[in-house]
Structure 1
Amino acid sequence: MKILEAMKQYDYEQLVFCQDESSGLKAIIAIHDTTLGPALGGIRMWNYATEEEAIVDALRLARGMTYKAAVSGLNLGGGKTVIIGESRTDKSEAMFRALGRYVEGLNGRYITAEDVGTNEEDMNNIFLETSYVTGVSPAFGSSGNPSPVTAFGVYQGMKAAAKVAYGSDSLKGKKIAVQGVGNVAYHLCKYLHEEGAQLIVTDIYEPNVKRAVQDFGATSVHPDEIYDVDCDIFSPCALGAIVNDDTIDRLRCNVIAGSANNQLKEDRHGDLLEQKGIFYAPDYVINAGGLINVADELYGYNRERAMAKVEGIYHTIEKVFEIAKRDGIPTYQAADRLAEERIESLRKSRNMFVQKDRHALTPVHR
């Protein structure tokens, strides 16, 4: 892999490799764009098959965070960390404290948070080494676990997409296929169940499936069968690139709306969804609730204010569909256009590097 050429393609600013032999830390921090402010993005811990796979994921996720922050109206850029390892067996306090020292060394250009495979306790360990971390325990003045808030945002965005597709935002009686029932999707299923939706779920981790079946009366299917489920809404809530050449013709839904990042393997798959008449709620718009929530910590966390902002995802999704209809483009392009226009409008008035006196964008836990 030619790393600098890959970075040049989408104008990434920085890639940091982090290694600590004593704790077993092998991590990559990617910073995509800091035009709007410091990069903020979570830590994903995954047992990547190769280092190249980890680099590609870090770069792709970081760019997604830039767009997510911009389209959500936040004064933040995009970044991401990936740790190579098995999250259920390889974690330690020493590992996350080592990573925290690397984050501190970036001096505010990057602020971290939790993501797939990491949790509040991990953020607490990072917080022992740096204040550039969000999602730590509420005892430190933080918002805690962002998963329920992310789920609330996906729920609001799903309702907005349903309104476009079906003329009503009611999800009562709708058949919704949920791929992956981890922390975010479990809370999403709770919202959907309470509104009276019919749930079909799958996950590679069987206890997650059993919990959803028990708590919400969901029907379960094998992970590979979820693409063939006849449903109203398909909700991808696991890893990305699941809308691809192998799956797109199998989908039997009118709406795609879920929490997973980078759901389209390639942009052209968004074009194919448009041709098939499937209403796609762009992933980085609908799943921005967690980012919006932890970003509020940078101003002194207020839950009511944060939840009100997350509820606004409903209207952002509406706006994306309006732009798509107005300009005759697929929704993924409409979302990109909304984000890029904001970034470009502020590019000339922002410095590339974070200024220490930018108090409003400095973590305030200490």
Structure 2
Amino acid sequence: MLQTGEARTLRPVTASSTLKLTDITAKAARLAAFDNHEQIWLGQDDERGLTAIVAIHNTALGPALGGTRVWPHATFDAALTDALRLSRGMTFKSAIARMPFGGGKAVIKADSKTEKTPAMLEAYAEMLAALNGQYYTGEDVGLTLDDANFLRERTPNVSGTTVGGSGNPSPVTALGTFLGVKAALKHARGSDAVSGLRIAVQGLGSVGWSLCEQLHSEGASLIVADIDAARVAKAREAFGAEVVETETIVAAEADLFAPCALGGVLSADTIPHLKARIVAGAANNQLARHEDAAHLMRRGVLYAPDYVINAGGLINVAAELAPEGYDRAEVMRHVALIPETLMDIFQRAEAEQRPTNDIAQAIAEERIAQARAA
């Protein structure tokens, strides 16, 4: 594993490769989402259909770690902005979870259903290998466990696989989120019981579905939304869930709103329509802007910072890279600390009358500063 401060020499791609690797850090710096990122790489292979961005935000705590998202962004700048925002969130997620990794994220600009091919993934594996330990990745939206296995067979820079790994990290992310939901309920309502509560879950992917299973098993009444009609039909059958449109679930009559789809769902446009008094979900970048947390606070809504509550998956995949090897019991112990971290943030935010994400960011930045000083 690349250690902090170690020289970074790119491994050249093979002479027969059609992959082109370019440092676009200067180009990325013109975007509002740029936050002193250390390095941004663009991998292009027209022959094999790859356009991939790897954003490395901060490596003060260790090499960058973050998933790979496959998504058909309308423009290159939209994909780049997504990578910049997500990688910054990963820095804070690692720091607040006390993981020895920095923040990074990859975005492959493609439709995962129609444009993702073995040839494209081959090219991406070459890109990961060429980065030579700067960045470790795993599954995310549009990149399946099978895809991660495919990559892991070609480069060691992939975790969360069944090829020498611990398997799909989504259930661990969902478990941490479920525990975080209970912590938020405890702080806001005085009880962590979910039985009888109406909980709106946006997004029924691997994490959202697993979260629904846990909430349903403890007696919650579910309201769900997803762009996949088959998934919502399955949720109606399995959980007796009420189904609403993805565009209107924010306004659902619910006790708690759990965003588990793409980010940016909480904005100046949507927050005024929010009925739930708690937001606690697994999606990354739930806020359209950092300032939106203050808007939630003014409306009396308790917000569980996304990169705190959804850290279970990161904790799990990072454990695969530990020098002593993967320890499932240690992972579960670490995930069980998520509620404690959230409760500390909630209490500090209340005492200082500051938004919860400001408190979480301050804690993360303190730990990063300490690492730099050391």
1:100 aligns with 125
Higher relative contact order (CA 8 A, sep 6+): 1
Deviations 1:236-282 (A, max 9, x none): 11111111121011000110000111111112211010000000000
Kindly indicate whether the alpha-carbon contact (under 8 Å) linking 2:51 and 2:108 is maintained by their aligned counterparts in 1: yes
Q: What is the CA distance between 1:22 and its match in structure 2?
A: 2.5
Kindly indicate whether the alpha-carbon contact (under 8 Å) linking 2:57 and 2:88 is maintained by their aligned counterparts in 1: yes
Cα separation, partners in 2 of 1:56 and 1:144, compared to 1, 3 Å: same
1:127 partnered with 2:152: yes
2:84 to 26, 46, 59: 59
1:31 partnered with 2:27: no
Amino acid at match of 1:304: A
1:281 to 304, 325, 343: 304
RMSD of equivalent CA atoms? 1.4
SS of 1:213 mapped into structure 2: helix
The answer for unaligned runs of 5 or more in structure 1 is 350-366
Q: What is the CA distance between 1:326 and its match in structure 2?
A: 2.9
1:164 aligns with 187
1:47 to 72, 79, 90: 72
* CA distance in 2 between partners of 1:240 and 1:54 (Å): 13
1:353 aligns with none
* CA distance in 2 between partners of 1:298 and 1:9 (Å): 28
Q: What is the CA distance between 1:284 and its match in structure 2?
A: 0.5
1:229 partnered with 2:229: no
Q: What is the CA distance between 1:58 and its match in structure 2?
A: 0.4
Cα separation, partners in 2 of 1:2 and 1:15, compared to 1, 3 Å: closer
* CA distance in 2 between partners of 1:227 and 1:9 (Å): 28
1:343 partnered with 2:356: no
* CA distance in 1 between partners of 2:281 and 2:373 (Å): 34
SS of 2:248 mapped into structure 1: helix
2:11 aligns with none
Kindly indicate whether the alpha-carbon contact (under 8 Å) linking 2:28 and 2:40 is maintained by their aligned counterparts in 1: no
SS of 1:158 mapped into structure 2: helix
2:231 to 179, 197, 208: 208
1:262 partnered with 2:282: no
Q: What is the CA distance between 1:129 and its match in structure 2?
A: 2.4
Kindly indicate whether the alpha-carbon contact (under 8 Å) linking 1:97 and 1:128 is maintained by their aligned counterparts in 2: no
Deviations 1:269-306 (A, max 9, x none): 11010000000000010011100110010121122221
Q: What is the CA distance between 1:225 and its match in structure 2?
A: 1.9
* CA distance in 1 between partners of 2:80 and 2:199 (Å): 33
Kindly indicate whether the alpha-carbon contact (under 8 Å) linking 1:40 and 1:78 is maintained by their aligned counterparts in 2: yes
1:322 aligns with 347
SS of 1:301 mapped into structure 2: coil
Kindly indicate whether the alpha-carbon contact (under 8 Å) linking 2:34 and 2:84 is maintained by their aligned counterparts in 1: no
SS of 1:28 mapped into structure 2: strand
* CA distance in 2 between partners of 1:222 and 1:34 (Å): 40
* CA distance in 1 between partners of 2:341 and 2:327 (Å): 21
Kindly indicate whether the alpha-carbon contact (under 8 Å) linking 2:53 and 2:80 is maintained by their aligned counterparts in 1: yes
Large movers: runs of 4+ above 2 Å: 1-9, 325-328
* CA distance in 1 between partners of 2:204 and 2:330 (Å): 28
Amino acid at match of 1:90: E
Cα separation, partners in 2 of 1:232 and 1:8, compared to 1, 3 Å: closer
Amino acid at match of 2:365: E
2:29 aligns with 4
* CA distance in 2 between partners of 1:5 and 1:233 (Å): 37
* CA distance in 2 between partners of 1:23 and 1:248 (Å): 42
1:88 partnered with 2:110: no
* CA distance in 2 between partners of 1:271 and 1:310 (Å): 27
Amino acid at match of 1:133: V
1:145 to 165, 168, 171: 168
* CA distance in 1 between partners of 2:358 and 2:47 (Å): 45
1:244 partnered with 2:267: yes
Q: What is the CA distance between 1:69 and its match in structure 2?
A: 0.3
Aligned length: 347
Q: What is the CA distance between 1:9 and its match in structure 2?
A: 4.8
Identity %: 48
* CA distance in 2 between partners of 1:37 and 1:3 (Å): 22
Amino acid at match of 2:319: D
Q: TM-score, normalised by structure 1?
A: 0.92
| Greater mean alpha carbon deviation, residues 254-263 or residues 2-11 | 2-11
2:16 aligns with none
* CA distance in 1 between partners of 2:33 and 2:148 (Å): 31
Q: What is the CA distance between 1:4 and its match in structure 2?
A: 2.4
Deviations 1:178-237 (A, max 9, x none): 111111100000000001000000011111111211111111011222122111001111
1:352 aligns with none
* CA distance in 1 between partners of 2:90 and 2:177 (Å): 16
Amino acid at match of 1:253: A
* CA distance in 1 between partners of 2:33 and 2:214 (Å): 41
SS of 1:114 mapped into structure 2: coil
1:359 aligns with none
